[in-house]
Amino acid sequence: MNNLNGVVCVLTRKNGSEFLWVKRRMEHNFMGGYYAFVGGGIENDENLTIAMARELFEELGILVSTSGIVQWTNLDDREKIKKERNFIQFLDSLELEVDHAAFRPITDWRSGDQYNQKAYVRVFELSVDEELLDRPKKFIDEEATFAEWSTFEKGIELLDSGKAVASALVRTLLIHFSKSIRSFEQSQVLEELSTYKLHKGIFSLPMKSQTLPPSTTTNCVIIADDDNKKFLVVDPGGTDQHEQERLLRFIGELTTDGLEFIGVLLTHHHNDHHGALPLLLKTLNCPVYGHPKLSQRTEYKINPISNIVFGGLRTLETPGHSDDHLAFYIERTKTIVAGDMVASKGSILIAPDHGHVGDYLESLERLIKLNAQSAIPSHGSILVQPSKYFGDYISHRKKRHADIYALIHEKGHGTAIDLVPQIYAELLPDLYPLAALSVESHLLWMLEVGDISFKDDVFFVS
């Protein structure tokens, strides 16, 4: 199966104009809050179509057998099968078999490095009669909060507006199906997915960068203005030559379509946010915009952001991770380009050189007040209803601060590295120096407000 670990089904009506999708629960670690097709993992050595039939039965109560496709209304059966993993035995008890031929394979898709789980899935299409699953929300299981039939055009419109978020796979398939393209090569799909459109005029290209683990990429975000006449590139952080050339090609495609490239925006000075900038400057001679402090911390000429004439984009000062950190708010879709304020993969380091814990918490509070529909972090996948994530980050950071406060008061004195083994009990010793930077930032904030004192490189309880 070429290391495939999952299956996905584009469920369509036989009239050919509608498909069914669900909205995943926010609590999901993988694509929480995303609109998605029905699918899931392959259990043990399941045949792919059996895995697909099982997922449809568990999630929607649709039973695909050689005797026909029917709606199974007994929720207890579905729950029992999901719990006991006995789908085949269930079919045997009914003297039924999965109708393998009902599932038409479309393509295979591998999730990018920006996701916190690796998915490599076979995508199928299953066409059903119009009367089947006429009230889909009634039959969804606990993995989803919402299900509906939609036209392909309406689905694309919902994604473009920013009111829904989906993976690149979902958007690409909707575009193909809206054009009545039902058969295409895997390579064609995967190439299209590499230029990831999130909403209308908003694209994110994950690029391999010199970032901190577990992340391996930085999201380079391309934003068109409200009139779709010009565009900016935010944080071209990639260092891989192939991906830098891909970014150049994408910029070229947008300019060929009539948009004007007006420059590069940087969220802050860290190296993993501008690795591809030298190539862009050499090739396109574009202006660079960012916080004034970037002029002293990078080799680039930094222009004031106030010089940009660009409809629908608001600049947000968000110090904390770094004192030169900016975020950007796209008003038409209520999307935050969040930089290193949050991450859906990994965590945010606040180092003592330019970081500040108190400023970071205040910046997160300001982002919450925007009540945004989505946020694009520099590391990881797009976040749905990000105010929840900002609040979780505040809670986590405050708890960490309280733990450090309690420990230094218990010990009476110590250095940051002294406190790390107890604060980060699960951490490998090789990562202690990195964790010590975070601990030191918390200690410095305590020092600033007078909770502790500092002498001869040691922190003391006041």
179-192 pLDDT, tens digit per residue, is 887 666 654 554 44
Least confident of 143-157, 231-245, 371-385, 436-450: 143-157
Least confident of 136-150, 293-307, 369-383: 136-150
Looking at the fold, whether 253 and 310 belong to one and the same domain comes out as yes
Residue 429: which CATH number?
Answer: 1.10.10.10
Residue 156 reports pLDDT greater than 90 = yes
Looking at the fold, whether 314 and 365 belong to one and the same domain comes out as yes
Please report which helix (H) or strand (E) contains residue 377, including its range: strand 374-377
Confidence (pLDDT) at 188: 54
Looking at the fold, whether 327 and 457 belong to one and the same domain comes out as no
Looking at the fold, whether 388 and 409 belong to one and the same domain comes out as no
Q: Quote the CA–CA distance of 157 and 175 in Å, as a whole number.
A: 11
Domain boundary among 131, 166, 193: 193
Average pLDDT over residues 361-376: 98
Looking at the fold, whether 47 and 109 belong to one and the same domain comes out as yes
CB 75 within 8 A of CB 68: no
pLDDT digits (tens, 9 = 90+) for 301-319: 999 999 998 999 999 999 9
Q: What is the mean pLDDT of the chain?
A: 91
Confidence (pLDDT) at 193: 45
Average pLDDT over residues 212-218: 89
Looking at the fold, whether 365 and 409 belong to one and the same domain comes out as no
Query: Which of the residue ranges 6-15, 82-91, 329-338 has the most confident prediction, judged by mean pLDDT?
Result: 329-338
Average pLDDT over residues 371-376: 97
Q: Is 127 helix (H, G, I), strand (E, B) or coil?
A: strand
Looking at the fold, whether 158 and 88 belong to one and the same domain comes out as yes
Residue 353 reports pLDDT greater than 90 = yes
Torsion on CA atoms 78, 21, 47, 124, rounded to nearest 10: 150
Domain boundary among 364, 397, 430: 397
- Residue 435's domain comprises 398-461
Looking at the fold, whether 122 and 262 belong to one and the same domain comes out as no
Confidence (pLDDT) at 319: 98
Confidence (pLDDT) at 2: 66
pLDDT digits (tens, 9 = 90+) for 330-352: 999 999 999 999 998 778 999 99
- Intra-chain end-to-end CA distance of the chain, in Å: 63
- Domain count of the chain? 3
Choose between 193 and 94: higher pLDDT: 94
Choose between 45 and 182: higher pLDDT: 45
Give Cα separations from 97 to 33, 53, 82, 87, 415 (angstroms): 34, 10, 18, 11, 66
Domain boundary among 397, 432, 453: 397
Please enumerate in sequence order all residues whose Cβ is within 8 A of that of 448, keeping only pairs 6 or more positions apart, or say none.
358
Provide DSSP, 398-449.
HHHHHHHHHHHHHHSEE-HHHHHHHHTTTS-GGGHHHHHHHHHHHHHHHHHH
Confidence (pLDDT) at 77: 81
Choose between 386 and 72: higher pLDDT: 386
Strand-pair category, 35-36 with 18-24: antiparallel
Domain assignment of residue 1, yes or no: no
pLDDT confidence tier of residue 176, bands split at 50, 70 and 90 = confident
Q: What is the pTM of this model?
A: 0.92
**Backbone φ/ψ region at 113: left (φ over 0), alpha (ψ -120 to 50), beta:** alpha
Q: Quote the CA–CA distance of 13 and 416 in Å, as a whole number.
A: 61
Q: Quote the CA–CA distance of 96 and 176 in Å, as a whole number.
A: 34
Q: Quote the CA–CA distance of 180 and 236 in Å, as a whole number.
A: 35
Looking at the fold, whether 406 and 280 belong to one and the same domain comes out as no
Please report which helix (H) or strand (E) contains residue 145, including its range: strand 144-151
Residue with tokens 């694309």: 156
Looking at the fold, whether 43 and 77 belong to one and the same domain comes out as yes
Looking at the fold, whether 228 and 345 belong to one and the same domain comes out as yes
Q: Quote the CA–CA distance of 424 and 92 in Å, as a whole number.
A: 51
Torsion on CA atoms 254, 259, 262, 265, rounded to nearest 10: -50
Looking at the fold, whether 177 and 295 belong to one and the same domain comes out as no
